[in-house]
């Protein structure tokens, strides 16, 4: 067993489990870029059908796929959670997940009721059993790390997001009357953005920032209390809003301040790293954390009645930049490490080193593509014609990432076919 900074790698799932999720996320990202080219500036308005479709392409098709892949890897490694038949389990999730996302996007585009019902059936059937299984395994752990506790909170938040999403889909599909549609919709996306996306990134960062960048650990109070505080605020607002709809004007800025503190502390940790060499992933982190800080400042304007439509679009784009930038940073560390680790564990003397799987210069080129794409997206708010150019950038960005995932998979299989393995000598 290889153990470092609390990692337990003897239970790591097959690499195919993780890479398939990453490929799914990259393919949805390419589709999102093509959709943006086809529909233009309307994708930036969440009140339009195009805006709803684009939102769910990014949050469901891209972010959730990447994060599920990370969970399949991180839960056994960080928390020591054993997954029986992980390849079969992943396949049982991936197939209905992809079909469910497609059905949901079709429903938004055509207003076909059966598409929403089908999406609810497929996504609920794929995600809820997985969430219950993973939460159950986490609850049975005797020793929790900050990351495993955080992942538990994030998974509970995801479960709430899925349940609320089923209600919304059922309303679109005519199953429910939708009496509480507005309140449920607000809870759905706030739990999704802050309780699931943001806090899962935060929980994993407690482990990977210290491990990969050799930084001091995050403060103990943050590692222990941030997840509970975020979840309590979200749950409080979700319940109280039925009587006091303006409760979000109190809880959202409070959540924003907590995220601001996390971002500033993490940026400080990067400046304290013991290995001062800066690679592309450090700049992905800096872009992501800077985007989160900017998102929080816009969030703090809401209680003062400053809520122009373009500010809402800007905050959405900045939050997407936060999530995707840090996901890319993690992927460029995780993919080479997993490729090397699995081949090395199988005894291949010719296992490629991490820089041979994805060269640092390759990641740096993606950094430039990613930063340019989001700069164009931000400029498309006052200049809508640039939206289609940004769509081209998304295709290049996710296409670049898809190539790296495929390259790692190809290199892994090639080494298995042709590589030289260490053989234990036979006793005489």
3-state secondary structure of 348: strand
Task: State the pTM of this model.
Answer: 0.92
3-state secondary structure 9-64: HHHCCCHHHHHHHHHHHHHHHHHHHHHHHHHHHHHHCCCCHHHHHHHHHHHHHHHH
Please give the structure tokens belonging to residue 41: 């500036």
Return the SS3 of 246: helix
Question: What is the band of 9 on the pLDDT scale with cuts at 50, 70, 90?
Answer: low
pLDDT of residue 330 exceeding 70, the answer is yes
Q: For residues 428 and 185, which has the higher predicted lDDT (pLDDT)? A: 185
* pLDDT, mean of residues 340-364: 84
Which H or E element spans position 72?
helix 65-74
**More confident of the two residues 20 and 299:** 20
Checking if the pLDDT of 6 tops 60, the result is no
Distance, in Å, from the CA atom of 56 to the CA atom of 100, rounded to the nearest integer, reads 11
d(CA 285, CA 290): 8
More confident: 157 or 140: 157
The pLDDT of residue 406 is above 60: yes
Q: Where are the domains of the chain?
A: 9-414
Residue 31's pLDDT band (cuts 50, 70, 90): very high
Helices H / strands E in the chain, number of each: 15, 0
Q: How confident is the model at residue 418 (pLDDT cuts 50, 70, 90)?
A: confident
Pick from 167-181, 248-262, 337-351, 405-419: least confident: 337-351
CATH code of the domain made up of 9-414: 1.20.210.10
pLDDT value for 144: 72
For residue range 383-400, list pLDDT tens digits in order. Answer: 999 999 999 999 999 999
- The mean per-residue pLDDT over the stretch 71-97 comes to 83
The DSSP symbol for 141 reads: -
pLDDT digits (tens, 9 = 90+) for 289-311: 999 999 999 888 766 656 667 78
pLDDT digits (tens, 9 = 90+) for 231-289: 999 999 999 999 999 898 889 999 999 999 999 999 999 988 887 767 899 999 999 99
Round the CA-based radius of gyration of the chain to a whole number and report it.
21
Per-residue confidence band for 61, with pLDDT thresholds at 50, 70 and 90: very high
- For CA atoms 203, 264, 291, 278, give the dihedral sign: negative
Which pLDDT does position 307 carry in this prediction? 63
Q: Which two tokens stand for residue 30?
A: 């390419």
First-to-last alpha carbon distance for the chain, in angstroms, is: 28
87-104: average pLDDT: 94
**What CA–CA distance (Å, rounded) separates 140 from 238?**
28
> Considering Cα of 42, then 46, then 48, then 49, what sign does the dihedral take?
positive
């Amino acid at each position: 067993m290889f153990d470092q900074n609390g990692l337990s790698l003897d239970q790591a799932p097959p690499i195919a489990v993780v890479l398939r999720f990453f490929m799914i996320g990259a393919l949805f990202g390419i589709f999102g870029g093509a959709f943006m080219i086809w529909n233009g500036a309307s994708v930036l308005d969440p009140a339009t059908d195009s805006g709803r479709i684009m939102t769910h392409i990014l949050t469901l098709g891209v972010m959730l796929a990447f994060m599920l892949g990370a969970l399949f890897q991180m839960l056994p490694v960080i928390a020591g959670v054993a997954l029986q038949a992980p390849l079969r389990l992943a396949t049982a999730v991936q197939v209905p997940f992809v079909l469910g996302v497609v059905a949901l996007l079709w429903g938004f585009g055509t207003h076909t009721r059966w598409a929403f019902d089908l999406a609810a059936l497929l996504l609920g059937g794929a995600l809820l059993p997985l969430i219950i299984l993973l939460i159950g395994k986490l609850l049975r752990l005797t020793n929790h790390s900050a990351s495993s506790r955080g992942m538990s909170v994030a998974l509970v938040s995801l479960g709430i997001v899925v349940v609320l999403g089923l209600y919304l889909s059922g309303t679109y599909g005519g199953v429910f009357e939708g009496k509480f549609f507005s309140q449920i919709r607000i809870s759905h996306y706030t739990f999704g953005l802050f309780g699931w996306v943001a806090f899962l990134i935060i929980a994993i960062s407690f482990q990977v920032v210290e491990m990969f960048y050799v930084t001091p650990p995050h403060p103990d109070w943050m590692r222990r209390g941030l997840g509970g505080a975020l979840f309590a605020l979200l749950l409080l607002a979700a319940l109280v809003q039925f009587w006091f709809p303006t409760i979000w004007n109190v809880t959202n800025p409070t959540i924003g301040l907590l995220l601001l503190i996390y971002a500033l502390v993490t940026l400080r940790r990067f400046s304290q790293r013991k290995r001062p060499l800066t690679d592309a992933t450090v700049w992905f982190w800096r872009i992501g954390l800077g985007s989160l800080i900017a998102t929080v400042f816009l969030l703090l304007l809401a209680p003062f009645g400053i809520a122009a439509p373009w500010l809402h679009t800007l905050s959405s784009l900045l939050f997407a930049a936060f999530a995707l930038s840090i996901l890319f940073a993690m992927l460029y560390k995780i993919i080479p490490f997993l490729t090397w680790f699995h081949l090395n564990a199988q005894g291949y003397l010719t296992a490629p080193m991490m820089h041979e799987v994805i060269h640092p210069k390759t990641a740096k080129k993606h950094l430039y593509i990613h930063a340019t794409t989001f700069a164009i997206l931000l400029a498309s708010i006052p200049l809508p014609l640039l939206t289609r150019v940004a769509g081209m950038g998304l295709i290049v960005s996710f296409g670049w990432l898809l190539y790296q995932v495929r390259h790692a998979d190809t290199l892994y299989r090639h080494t298995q076919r042709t590589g030289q393995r260490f053989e234990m000598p036979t006793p005489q």
